[in-house]
Structure 1
Amino acid sequence: MERKAKQVLLTSAFASALLFMPTHGKAAEWKLGMSHPQIKEVQALLKAKGFFTYPTPTGYFGTMTETAVKKFQASVRLPVTGVVDAKTYAALKGEKKKENPSTKASPSFVAAEWKVGASGEAVKTLQERLKVLGYFTYSQVTGYFGTMTEEAVKTFQKDVGLAPTGIADRSTLAKLEEALRKKTKPTILLTIGASGEQIKTIQIKLKQLGHFTYPEVTGYFGQATAEAVKKFQANAQLPVTGIVDDTTYTRLLQVQKPFDPIELVADAAPLLGKPYVWGGQTPDTGFDCSGLIFYLFQQQGISLPRTVIAMWNAGTSVDAPAVGDIVFFQTEGTTASHAGIYIGNNQFLHSASSTGVTISAFNSPYWSARYIGAKRYW
């Protein structure tokens, strides 16, 4: 009896497994968490079309595969599910298929107007489109046009140069379809091991948001950067991969954080004692006076001119300096030739040729006699 029961169980399990096996070259329904040799084929097809960016097909259906499938589905106007069903597989293989009228951008969808309070399949389609482009961040599409959908529409409208009304009108829907056609593959995919100026930009933005806590911006994508990216993705309700794809990169650059002069001063603390180097503007090489200011403001996302005279000619003059303002001195010639950052208590931070990066008394006889003014850049 026990053997019969086991046989029944095994037979049932075997039969169940057969339901998920491909037959006659057709695809089963592949989705997140599954492993199978045919998933390698799916990944290879996605890779050939520019959607799967992992170096090699693995046969495991992870989040990168799911994201690639969603982007492919959006590009061919299939339901954006992330699941490889028969229609998705046929589209990947280039086989002819009947178009699905519920997901194709029909004239009625583009011509309609959707706003807060609307609901239905058309709103689901709208949310799917916005989700693929990185604007709709709710965990699932609901088919109800609420405030989150409205905000997603507004952000998209701003990005494409339309009035941010929050109403998905004819112009907005047309722009949405245009954006989806252009989004055929990720333009950015940065992960551990990458390096360069783009990584510096990412680290600076992550540092401003409090996610990247490494003392210096290095331009190298290491474990600390990956962890910072994961924190940002979690906060932004994006897939937490630690990899900077185009959606993560775009969202990261969109986030603005108000300038905080206290953070500017805090970033300067580890630089005390760095040597004075003519033309220097990094912690590794050292700093001249304007290079130090340029570097510290860059960490806060503010771009300044590189030379003292150019800084002096920019900015807004202030009667009395506050923390974070730049103070200027005429140590030689007939105009500004030296500068530092006012840090409060009649003190300023600067890089002097005789001391390197240091703090000096603003009201000392030497500096007070040469002070010519202060300017603000935030």
Structure 2
Amino acid sequence: MFNIIKTQKRTVLFLAAAVLFAAVYGIFVYNQAETSSQFEQKAETVIPDENSQVIKLETVNEAVLPATESEAQEEPVPDNLKEGSEHPFVAKLQERLMELGFMENDEPTLFYGSVTANAIRIYQRQNNIVQDGIAGPETLASLFSQEAKYYAVSLGISGDDVKQIQNRLYELGYLAKEEEVTGEFNETTEKAVMKLQELNQLSIDGNVGRKTIRLLYSEEVKPDYLAYGEKNEVVLSAQKRLKSLGYLTTVPDGNYGKDTVTAVKQFQSRNDLVVDGYLGPSTRIALEQEEATPNGVMLGEQGESVKRIQELLNKYGYLSSSNVTGYFGEVTEQSVKRFQKDNGLKADGSVGVQTLSLLTADKSVKAGKDFRPAVVDAGSGGGGKTVNGNVKAFIDIAASKVGSKYVWGSKGPNSFDCSGFVYWSLNQIGVRQSYLTSSGWRNMGKYKRISNYDDIKPGDIVVGKGHMGIAAESQKVIDASSSNGKVVYRQRTAWWRNNFIVAWRIFE
């Protein structure tokens, strides 16, 4: 009898537990269904792009919600993401900042570094949120909302980003004095922007938005100062100085022709200026400095300056016309040495100020009848072959700067942005390459073009959408990363393939 009662009690307890479990499970399913319904409604949020089209946007809700319940327990998104934080959601945060123009395009990371914090501050400034660099609830709600705005600056705004814009306006001649580069967007800056927009056929509003930012660093931008086609005494004075420094290969005449553009670009490249071929304020000031770096063209270099030197060597009989290629190879070097020897100069094979002065003076000794210039120059048509460096040395030089700070617009030696890092590394290995932004690297033509991502080899320059780096061994890349806030040596992930535009082979 006792056993029957005991069994009945167990049955009742079991049934009660089953009922309780069913009730709890029902509530859980209902809540999950309701959350899923709300989530699906928000997942279709859209924002207009620059051309008033619409693109789907992952909302904060979608980005924050983890894939599984276990992930929700393990890695909840902090209420306040700040400098030093590391979390999967940081990648989505950086991706959004890049999309809206507050960070340079790069592979997003999990690390919330100083560059990310500064981008958040600028976003907060633009949206009247306390500028603490912390991605808190208010900032995140704004950043991922339908009303999120692209980067822009206008009258009354101040900051380091404004100073960078003013520097470029000064370079292009729209700001007349260096003292006007203050970091404060005042009426003078607004007028300069309006004039830039007017001359370049943009909407004239005095604000620096996406189109104006892109224009500032494009090759199509029209400056407000001396450029190709002009003729005056200022051009003549600059030409004389370029001639004395060994950059101009023709007689100064005051006419801003193609030879002057080539000379200005070469000077800018040698003197760490933005290479645009215009005689802007900074270029003219640099030309007047006693410490201005003179020209010196040597083995392994390429470009219009090299081609002009080869034409002059051909004129005096020291180089075959078949070697007028724009590539300074071994045959060109031997021709230079013979020219220097015949004209009483030190025969070092490098075209410096004295050698160039004689080449352009119409008084030089011509090659004797016994001299027979070679027909084929090593690398002449090799699409970028050099002989004064190799892949390993190039990668080693780039790797030596791993950990250096990322700073937008910096070209080294202790801080870099992505294009500045490539520029510095190439010049350190002896490849005399002008400074160009990633957009300028899209159509080089100077080196061997690699159009297939799978054909990339170590030492190639890899150019993506708004970013670039140096290919290393084992599918790795070395680059100045905005998302990491420093120069990194990392694996080339799917991001690089998805954003790939072109690669350039410097070394064969």
- TM-score bracket, normalised by the shorter chain, equals 0.3 to 0.5
Asked which structure has the greater CA Rg, the reply is: 2
Higher relative contact order, structure no. (Cα contacts within 8 Å, ≥ 6 residues apart):
2
What TM-score, normalized by structure 2, do the two folds share? 0.28
